[in-house]
Copies of this chain bind each other. A is one copy, B any other.
C-alpha cells in the first residue's frame, strides 16, 4: 500500500491534503487495489457502479459498444486519473459504458458512499472531486466540439489543434493509435487515413505513427 501513496499524492483528488491526512483518510475509506492485464474488462456495460477507480499504473479506456459490435472510445485515463466517478456519484444502476484495460494496469477502487459518509474530514476530497468533475465536464464538451464538426478533416484539425495546444509545440505525440483515434472521433478508420493522406499531400500535416506536426492554419481559424 505504502508504495501507492506516492502516486496518490500526485493525484489531483488529494491535492491540498497533507501526507498523513491522505493516509488517514484512505485508511477509513478502505480502498481495494487490483491488477489487470491488457484487454480485461474492469466494468461491464449494464452492471451497477458503486465505486470509482484511480489508475495507479498503466491506462484504461472508457468505451461503448453498440449491438453491431462497433466500438466507440469515450475517454482514456492514465496514472493518477479517475474513472467512473460520475457513475458512482450518481449511483447509476446500469452502467452505459464499459471500462477496459489499455495497458496492463493497477487500479485502486474507492466506494463513493464511504466518501460521502466520511463527513468533515473528507471535505477537501469532495471539493477536489467537484473540481475534477467540472474539468471532466469541460473535457466532454471539448470532445463534443470535435465530433460536432461536419466532416473528417475538421474533426481531425479540431482534435489535433487541441493536442498541439496541450503540448505547447508544433510537434507532438497523440495518446491514441490511429485506429483508436478513429473510434474516438466516431469516424471510419480508412476514411480517416485517406483524409490524413490528403492533408499530408497538401502539406497541412506531417506524421508517422503517433507523432504529428501541424502547420499554423492561416488566419488563425483554429487557434
Contacts and interface: CB of A to CB of B under 8 A. Distances in A.
Contact of A138 (B64, B66, B92, B134): B92
Contacts of A141: 74, 86, 96-97, 140
A174 interface: no
Contacts of A131: 89-90
Majority SS of interface residues in chain A?
A: helix
Interface stretch (A15-23, A25-33, A144-152): A144-152
Contacts of A186: 147-148, 150
Interface in A78-101: 85-87, 89-90, 92, 96-97
A146 to B, nearest CB: 10
A74 B137 CA distance: 12
Interface of A: 64, 66-67, 70, 72, 74, 85-87, 89-90, 92, 96-97, 116, 120, 123, 126-127, 129-131, 133-138, 140-145, 147-150, 186, 188, 221
5 tightest A-B contacts by CB?
Answer: A89-B134, A86-B137, A140-B140, A133-B133, A86-B134
